[in-house]
Structure 1
């Protein structure tokens, strides 16, 4: 942890400098059997590539609004930290028609088409796979991101006191407020460095987003993100918690 961190991107940089090899986010899709584990270094590489895509290919600038129409997923976490790295406001589930650009999953493409700016689509297939046929009017994230640079530097400094995250209901948080609330949530949950939190909460509001990414990141912990774990019986849930060495649960 670093007391001077004031944005979510700062938290990731601290995690990368502290222990790049440790697991940061493990994602389960219990509908497909997919399991993806990302170390801090691997996750940070995805974030850097996505931030470069945002800044260089999509011409996003600090203060731009990105409607993020994605469910709780490891790639959603990547986009959230990429937005923070560039200074773009991540509007979780926001109105695409009022956004400067939009990032959509396969189930929200029609809503995303109302955005007059750049549009990016994610298949959310296992292993970050491409669409079999790219949606018309969208760039396929899985096609565009691999060629981006592995290191990111913003063209303009990111203001920690500027809007960073917009939530359903109209609440907007600055980068500094996101970090402050994440740290407070971590303390309330009893999270400490090395904690491993299993979250089944949806990312439709602050609680799910905090438990499923931000609070563990704020204290040097890690996440097991399993939004469809409700499909499992109690014995399977207990076994997963044991296999993943879970120390805390949410949802």
Structure 2
């Protein structure tokens, strides 16, 4: 995809300005586990609110900004999207963790599995359930329990520093995308469905959809084919990533 001059923070601002109430993220959970059956939908305004709270946590508690590496050790999920946008909004580099990668070499690790944060400078433990009020697992001493602490942070985010255009925004394996190039210009737009199991793939799909003033529908797990077809029709899906 061709690069854009827009940063992810500017892209999010454009979504809010265009239509704050329109759904931009819809997630269905068909995984085997406690979140099975959840449907979560975030409008541009609600997405921006999550991003603001997470960004303020990164800045105020963890001193994150340009030059900080925030490693996401999360599955494809709506929480993955707002943590990536939060890191980008404060100028940090988002790194998507490999399946066997711990926290070594990262300034901050955001994960639902505390074991994957071993060796990180700071650890944020995320609980995937939509209505969680505290972590479902034991949170190591000194780590942030997102479910308990995120709500205490402000709803307006003002970045302390802006990243340079050639700073790395996204690292996935051998791929490096700068802040000037992480938002594509040849965007998909529309209502884009994905069942990706790759969190980096979800980030790229969402950025491409949003860059075209669209939205993303994520299916986690494997629903029955008839149920999936009915779901995509009811959601008005126009493309599949």
TM over 0.5: yes
Per-residue deviation at 1:132? 4.1
Which of these residues, 201, 211, 218, is aligned with residue 218 of structure 1? 211
State whether residues 163 and 173 of structure 1, in contact with CA within 8 Å, keep that contact through their aligned partners in structure 2: yes
Distance 2:105 2:90 in 1: 19
Matched residue, 1:232: 223
> Once the 2 structures are TM-superposed, how far is the Cα of residue 133 of structure 1 from its aligned partner?
5.2
CA distance in 2, matches of 1:155, 1:218: 25
CA contact (8 A) 1:6 1:160 kept: no
Asked if the contact 2:23/2:215 (under 8 Å) is kept, the reply is: yes
Q: TM-score, normalised by structure 1?
A: 0.86
Tell me what 2:85 maps to.
81
RMSD: 1.8
CA contact (8 A) 2:135 2:148 kept: no
- When residues 93 and 132 of structure 1 are mapped into structure 2, their CA distance, relative to the original with a 3 A threshold, is closer
1:114 to 2:105 alignment: no
Gapped regions of structure 2 (runs ≥ 5): none
* 1:144 equivalent in alignment to 2:137: no
Task: List 4+ stretches of structure 1 deviating above 6 A.
Answer: none
Q: Distance in 2 between matches of 1:85 and 1:204?
A: 19
Which residue pairs with 2:71 in the alignment?
Answer: 67
Residue segments in structure 1 that go unaligned for 5+ positions in a row: none
3-state SS of paired residue (1:67) = strand
- Tell me, in whole angstroms, the C-alpha distance in 2 between the residues paired with 1:147 and 1:160: 31
CA displacement 1:65-110 (0-9 Å, x = unmatched)? 111101100010001100110111111115511011111113xx21
Q: In structure 2, which of residues 193, 196, 218 is the aligned counterpart of residue 201 of structure 1?
A: 196
Deviation at 1:233, TM superposition (A): 2.3
User: Aligned with 1:240: secondary structure?
Assistant: helix
Which stretch has the larger CA shift, 10-19 or 133-142?
A: 133-142
Cα separation, 1, equivalents of 2:4 and 2:69: 26
Q: How many pairs does the alignment contain?
A: 231
Q: 1:183 aligns with which of 182, 185, 192?
A: 185
CA distance in 2 between partners of 1:227 and 1:133 (Å) = 21
Q: Answer whether contact 1:5 1:11 (CA < 8 A) is retained.
A: no
Kept in 1, the 8 Å contact 2:53–2:154? The answer is yes
> Given the two structures, how large is their TM-score scaled by the length of structure 2?
0.90
CA deviation profile, 1:18-57 (whole Å, cap 9, x unmatched): 1111000001111210100000000001001110000011
Does 1:247 pair with 2:219? no
